[in-house]
Structure 1
Amino acid sequence: MSSNKATWRKRPNKAMPFFHMQSFADSHESRLHFPLKQMETPTKTSPDDVGLQPYFPDTPIMRYTKARYYDRMGIIDGHVGRIVSQLKEDSLLENTFVFYFGDHGGVMPRSKGYAYESGLHVPLVVRIPENFKHLVDHKRGARTDGFVSFIDFGPTVLNLAGIAPHKELDGRAFLGEGTSAVDLATRDEVFGHADRFDEKFDMVRTYRKGSWKYIRNYQAYYADGLQNNYRYRQLAYDNWRDLYRVDRLNPVQRQFFERRPVEQLFNLATDPHEVNNLAADPAQAKRLADMRRLLRDKMTSINDLSFYPENRMVTAALEDGVAFGRKNAKQVSRLSDLADLALQPFGEVQAALGQALKSKGVLRRYWALKVCANFGDEAKPLAKAAEPLLKDKNLMVRVRAAEFLGSIKAVDPMPTLYGVVNTAETEQALMIAFNTIVFLRDQIGHEYDPSKVKLKFNKGEVYRRVQYLAGTEPNTNY
């Protein structure tokens, strides 16, 4: 049974085992979409008592938002307590494993939707029932430093139920037969990723080993703070960006709105908020290379399909992504090699990039342009080679050519992009093009003329971009 009224109490047979999932929205991101006038209503948590991350400006809006968020989490605690009480009333508590977790990090700015620990690291509490404690060798109240991913939940629940997880199932059981507290404590590696969130595109991959975190930004020229209409309905986002625009942020606080390094390396033991990038530190050169290899090996093992533009994935891989990945594993690996040219000095890869720009392979031209955009002004010597691609037969190659050449101000990219959005036939192609338009307008300063756009498709996330670019995106916060 699936509905907002679903409950184990409606089982036709009270002896029937059950699996119950309950979500609560009281701490959802939307609960921080309040109008400015709301700040006249005091929070239970004092804004003066909250601690702010170093990347946040210390403002009344930011403090009130975080205090309100703490209040909302208190409400969630009450909901969970009532569920536990109901299980106890029904004499089921000591027969039931209870998993309590969030579906992402917090919902303050720079958390949900971003590949920092504030977005990836979630709370997880598991209550072990008395009648099944023999399946688990953890002590009650114990904590573990071992890493668990969401993909481990399925195998774990099956294992606790005495069902062998299928070999094709992602993840590893962390409780039940064949697992131990000692084994779990040794699990110190985890993979993370971020791609499209609503209408905002990116490609970020992360790898953690112990307290070290490696981030690979495949489109490093995009700022983290690139417009996402839903995110910016939160006053704290707007407040933060407004201060950036009037140059009232320190260097750490500015990072969110500026282009990123292609690689980032953080020591979370000393830098839990990921603001001090050690990737260029000579003392960390070996560690950087090791983390880079670990991430590459992981992406290769899963045939990471984000090396294909989303419009291509939808048409070719949506029906069976695993089979598509296996069939195209060699191509994925070659595209990954091409993307990794961004990790080397430009002078050493200029010739290879020049050849890739002339390749007969659409995806090689596509990725060569993205690598050029990552190099930015360093890649100006390749501008002439890239200009013919503004008229490429493939629309997505045109978008990337406009993106690269527009980002270094070699051409006005907008005429090319108007042509793409006026002829694109799919929602995904339109969204990719509009993402580039927003980047070039907001970060680089190119002018956008909405009268030049005559869309064949204007709904959903595409409509969000159209609203934003036209200055008509509704904001009820003020």
Structure 2
Amino acid sequence: MKLHLVFPVLALLLNLCCKEEEKVDQKPPNIVWIVSEDNSKHYLKLFDENGIETPNIEALAEHGIQFDRAFSNAPVCSVARSTIISGCYAPRIGAQFHRRSKLVPMPDSLRMFPAYLRDAGYYTANNSKEDYNLVKSDDAWDESSGKATWKKRKGNQPFFYVHNIGTTHESRVHFPESDMENVPTITQGEKYKVQPNHPDTELFHYTNARYRDKIKEMDGQLGEVVKALEADGLLENTFIFYYGDHGGVLPGSKGYLYETGLHVPMVVRIPENYKDWVDLKIGSKTDRFVSFIDLAPTVLNLAGVQIPEQIDGKPILGNGVDAKELDQENVTYGYADRFDEKYDMVRSVRMGKYKYIRNYQPFNFDGLMNEYRYKQAAYGEWEKMYEEGRLNEQQSAFFKSRAPEMLYDVESDPYETVNLAGDPKFEAKVQEMRGLLNDWVEGMPDLSFYPEFYLIENAFDAPVEFGRTHQKEIQDYIATANLMLEEAAAVQAQLKDLLQSSDPWQRYWALIVCSSFGDGVKALVPDIKEIAKNDGQAVNRVRAAEFLGMTKTGDPVPIMLEALYSAQYETEALLILNSIVLLGSHDYGYNFPIDERKISPDFRKKKSEVVRRLEFLKTSKK
């Protein structure tokens, strides 16, 4: 090689080596998370033209990276936060139910990730929401309270600080309709479009404006945290993450696996003294996919801490990150199970611009009563307009049974209103996405293929071990559940055999598949009536009665009431009540004369989820 070419190359290599040495010698950075509750990306102008200005978050983006493809794995607080603190998919570790009926242990000797930071000399402070479905590690936080702050660390000790802002929480839009006359908004509601699956009413415009007012207020509170860091001379030694803890609170978002429930805003401010640690240009945007399972390993990586192999996610920033590999990453997964008293089981996968949603119990329509959701006046108006026949097809879908699988192009259809799954042009894409999701639920394995009450009694002392031991059975249940994706006539004989299985959970899933087909498997009515009368599992008798009620081939009321009165577990009674509420809803109209005295008094504790259901059923009769 010619000498005039050798020296520049040597100089470049020497420069790179020096920079790597600087990283090794450099003090570990401080890391701050500022988390806003219940915000999807759709309502911030930084991410969406229909959003409101957030100047403080925008300032973070100017000095950092804007992540345009950041996703919660769950659309509700406790499940999302359990995913974050563990770095693990919640249905794998038993943390998928909101509210928790039983705390589950951290998996396989894994600790909540701040504990590893403390081992490495970090001061860890959380101000202050936890809301984990997991048994808390005693060593996770130096302090977790409303008074926690980085200021309590020793000397120049590096710190990890979480600041939670509840200003945008769902409860902030629990207001009476009279507020439209009495409480003006700063935001002009008419400036913003109501999403197409919502009715375009004065109340929905007002709710949009109230929510955006709260986002502006949250942005100001975020700015105060940044100013405090700057005042302490810490800004250029601190990575600042801003993100929403899951999707927004307008109807059909929080609690649901649509993009408004999962796609969150995320910005990371890169400190000047650590800009060489990041492979992306300051002030840029990136489409690389980030999921909540990635947050824990990212912080550990920035802190120079070894990432435990039990964690499901991977780091997105810091040393050793393969930028090319990350830029090709375009897949994220989501899960939704029980939210308070409302049961469902939905899984999703997004790959690039396509979103695939798998409804494992498609007859559980989205708008099924959930007491906390319906405290929002807009929910009530939406339901009333449906009952009065004043909604179009897109707006009515929330109150109707769903397809077992749905495919959306979320770039052209951001509010997921046009299901492409039945379009022959997208058959190959559906097959691809279905395969991705099946591999994921089988590989975890997904514990939700057992009912919650069974998991509490048999699995939740060691859920990951239970999943490993029963992975073959779970895969068999998944295969049964997937029969609803075939033609009814083609699988009817197979379903008949499964209804007679000695495994109660094969019978359980076969019954759910039959209900998804409805009249398409009426030839199985005698077998299902036999289960409704004699099955040893009360929930199987209920699932059989559910089918009979939906198809008008039998009276579900006495079967369900008997099962409710004999329920041994609170979550068993809650699951039965979910079916009772479903069959008492608009499209079925059955009346269940419940005698509460016959329900175990243990389930009728003050503020229990069972009590919520019973109170709704009493008021719905009036």
TM-score (norm: length of structure 2): 0.75
1:295 is aligned, of 437, 453, 477, to 437
**Counterpart in the other structure of 2:371:** 229
Q: Partners in 1 of 2:158 and 2:419 — Cα distance? A: 49
2:166 counterpart of 1:25:
yes
**Counterpart in the other structure of 1:462:** 610
1:122 is aligned, of 251, 264, 267, to 264
Work out whether residues 481 and 513 of structure 2, in 8 Å CA contact, stay in contact via their aligned partners in 1.
Answer: yes
Task: From the superposition, tell whether residues 187 and 345 of structure 1 become closer, same or farther in structure 2 (CA, over 3 Å).
Answer: same
2:553 counterpart of 1:405:
no
Residues 332-352 of structure 1 deviation map (CA, whole Å, 9 limit, x = unaligned): 111111111000000000000
2:557 is aligned, of 414, 419, 425, to 414
Task: From the superposition, tell whether residues 103 and 335 of structure 1 become closer, same or farther in structure 2 (CA, over 3 Å).
Answer: same
Residues 217-247 of structure 1 deviation map (CA, whole Å, 9 limit, x = unaligned): 0000111000000000000100100000000
2:246 is aligned, of 81, 104, 125, to 104
**Counterpart in the other structure of 1:439:** 582
Work out whether residues 57 and 253 of structure 1, in 8 Å CA contact, stay in contact via their aligned partners in 2.
Answer: yes
2:210 counterpart of 1:68:
yes
CA shift, 1:47, in A, is 1.4
2:459 counterpart of 1:317:
yes
1:80 is aligned, of 198, 217, 222, to 222
Work out whether residues 420 and 433 of structure 1, in 8 Å CA contact, stay in contact via their aligned partners in 2.
Answer: yes
Question: What amino acid maps onto 1:419 in structure 2?
Answer: E
Q: Greater CA deviation, 177-186 or 283-292? A: 177-186
2:355 is aligned, of 213, 216, 237, to 213
Question: What amino acid maps onto 1:39 in structure 2?
Answer: M
Work out whether residues 412 and 446 of structure 1, in 8 Å CA contact, stay in contact via their aligned partners in 2.
Answer: no
Query: SS of the counterpart of 2:268?
Result: strand
2:306 counterpart of 1:164:
yes
**Counterpart in the other structure of 2:294:** 152
1:262 is aligned, of 388, 393, 404, to 404
**Counterpart in the other structure of 2:62:** none
Work out whether residues 26 and 72 of structure 1, in 8 Å CA contact, stay in contact via their aligned partners in 2.
Answer: yes
**Counterpart in the other structure of 1:327:** 469
**Counterpart in the other structure of 1:55:** 197
Q: Partners in 2 of 1:140 and 1:68 — Cα distance? A: 33
How many aligned positions are there?
472
Work out whether residues 545 and 560 of structure 2, in 8 Å CA contact, stay in contact via their aligned partners in 1.
Answer: yes
Residues 278-302 of structure 1 deviation map (CA, whole Å, 9 limit, x = unaligned): 1111111111111110110111110
Q: Which runs of 5+ in 2 are unaligned?
A: 1-142
4+ long deviations beyond 3 Å: 180-183
1:37 is aligned, of 166, 171, 178, to 178
Work out which structure has the larger RCO, using CA pairs closer than 8 Å and 6 or more positions apart in sequence. Answer: 2
Q: Which runs of 5+ in 1 are unaligned?
A: 474-478
Q: Partners in 1 of 2:470 and 2:476 — Cα distance? A: 10
Work out whether residues 561 and 594 of structure 2, in 8 Å CA contact, stay in contact via their aligned partners in 1.
Answer: no
Work out whether residues 196 and 395 of structure 2, in 8 Å CA contact, stay in contact via their aligned partners in 1.
Answer: yes
1:366 is aligned, of 508, 511, 519, to 508
Work out whether residues 418 and 452 of structure 1, in 8 Å CA contact, stay in contact via their aligned partners in 2.
Answer: no
Q: Partners in 2 of 1:450 and 1:418 — Cα distance? A: 7
Q: Partners in 2 of 1:256 and 1:97 — Cα distance? A: 40
**Counterpart in the other structure of 2:594:** 450
Q: Partners in 1 of 2:310 and 2:595 — Cα distance? A: 51
Task: From the superposition, tell whether residues 275 and 372 of structure 1 become closer, same or farther in structure 2 (CA, over 3 Å).
Answer: same
Alignment of 1:199-210 (within 5 A): 199-210=341-352
**Counterpart in the other structure of 1:95:** 237
Residues 164-192 of structure 1 deviation map (CA, whole Å, 9 limit, x = unaligned): 20111110100011215443322101111
**Counterpart in the other structure of 1:394:** 537
Cα RMSD of the aligned pairs, angstroms, is 1.2
Work out whether residues 211 and 269 of structure 1, in 8 Å CA contact, stay in contact via their aligned partners in 2.
Answer: yes
CA shift, 1:452, in A, is 6.7
Work out whether residues 34 and 235 of structure 1, in 8 Å CA contact, stay in contact via their aligned partners in 2.
Answer: yes
**Counterpart in the other structure of 1:306:** 448
Question: What amino acid maps onto 2:318 in structure 1?
Answer: G
Work out whether residues 489 and 521 of structure 2, in 8 Å CA contact, stay in contact via their aligned partners in 1.
Answer: no
Query: SS of the counterpart of 2:144?
Result: coil
Residues 40-70 of structure 1 deviation map (CA, whole Å, 9 limit, x = unaligned): 2110011111211100001111110010000
Residues 178-211 of structure 1 deviation map (CA, whole Å, 9 limit, x = unaligned): 2154433221011111111111100101111100
2:568 counterpart of 1:425:
yes
Work out whether residues 241 and 266 of structure 2, in 8 Å CA contact, stay in contact via their aligned partners in 1.
Answer: yes
Q: Partners in 1 of 2:223 and 2:274 — Cα distance? A: 21
Residues 250-296 of structure 1 deviation map (CA, whole Å, 9 limit, x = unaligned): 00000000000011011112111111001111111111111110110
Question: What amino acid maps onto 1:65 in structure 2?
Answer: T
Query: SS of the counterpart of 1:81?
Result: helix
Work out whether residues 431 and 462 of structure 1, in 8 Å CA contact, stay in contact via their aligned partners in 2.
Answer: yes
Question: What amino acid maps onto 1:365 in structure 2?
Answer: R
2:337 is aligned, of 195, 202, 205, to 195
Question: What amino acid maps onto 1:408 in structure 2?
Answer: T
CA shift, 1:324, in A, is 0.8
Work out whether residues 187 and 212 of structure 2, in 8 Å CA contact, stay in contact via their aligned partners in 1.
Answer: yes
TM-score (norm: length of structure 1): 0.97
Q: Partners in 2 of 1:28 and 1:267 — Cα distance? A: 29
Q: Partners in 2 of 1:180 and 1:334 — Cα distance? A: 37
Query: SS of the counterpart of 2:361?
Result: coil
**Counterpart in the other structure of 1:3:** 145
Identity of aligned residues (%): 46
Work out whether residues 499 and 527 of structure 2, in 8 Å CA contact, stay in contact via their aligned partners in 1.
Answer: yes
Q: Partners in 2 of 1:277 and 1:290 — Cα distance? A: 16
Query: SS of the counterpart of 2:257?
Result: coil
Q: Partners in 2 of 1:107 and 1:382 — Cα distance? A: 42
1:274 is aligned, of 393, 416, 437, to 416
2:278 is aligned, of 100, 118, 136, to 136
Larger Rg: 2
**Counterpart in the other structure of 2:6:** none
CA shift, 1:320, in A, is 1.8
Residues 285-328 of structure 1 deviation map (CA, whole Å, 9 limit, x = unaligned): 11111111011011111001111001111112212211111111
Question: What amino acid maps onto 2:327 in structure 1?
Answer: A
